[in-house]
Structure formats: C-alpha cells, structure tokens
C-alpha cells in the first residue's frame, strides 16, 4: 500500500536563490578569466588592476 507524502517542501520557491548564486559565480569566473588573460599578456600591474576593476563594474 502506498503511503501519502505529507511533508511540505519549499524547493519550488527557492529558484531565485539558486539563480543569484549561479549568477554571482558566473561573474566571479568571468572577471578572474579576464584578469588572468591580461596578466598572461605580460601587462603591467596597473593594467591588470584596471582590467579587474572595469570587469567587476561591468558585470555588476
């Protein structure tokens, strides 16, 4: 005999949290990739800093 599942879960209402966490993670990875790319191109320290600040301001 099947028993009825009586517990209530809030997984249907928590999608916004997952979306915000994934979006923040995407921004961090994108900014880090850009900074590493600029640094790998033998750019100066100030150029890497400007690229990182510009990328973080653009992705916000």
Neighbours of 42 (CB within 10 A): 7
Residue 56 CA to residue 60 CA, distance in Å, equals 6
Return the domain boundaries, the chain. 28-60
Q: Is the pTM of this model over 0.75?
A: no
The answer to whether residue 59 scores a pLDDT higher than 70 is no
In contact, 32 and 59? CB cutoff 8 Å: no
Q: How does pLDDT run across 13-49, given as a tens digit for each residue?
A: 788 888 889 989 999 999 999 999 999 999 999 999 9
Distance set, CA 48 to CA 20, 30, 33, 60 (Å): 27, 14, 11, 18
């Amino acid at each position: 005999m099947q028993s009825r599942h009586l517990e209530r879960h809030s997984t249907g209402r928590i999608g916004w949290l997952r979306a915000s966490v994934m979006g923040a993670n995407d921004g961090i990875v994108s900014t880090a990739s850009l900074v590493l790319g600029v640094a790998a191109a033998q750019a100066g320290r100030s150029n890497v800093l400007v690229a990182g600040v510009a990328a973080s301001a653009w992705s916000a």
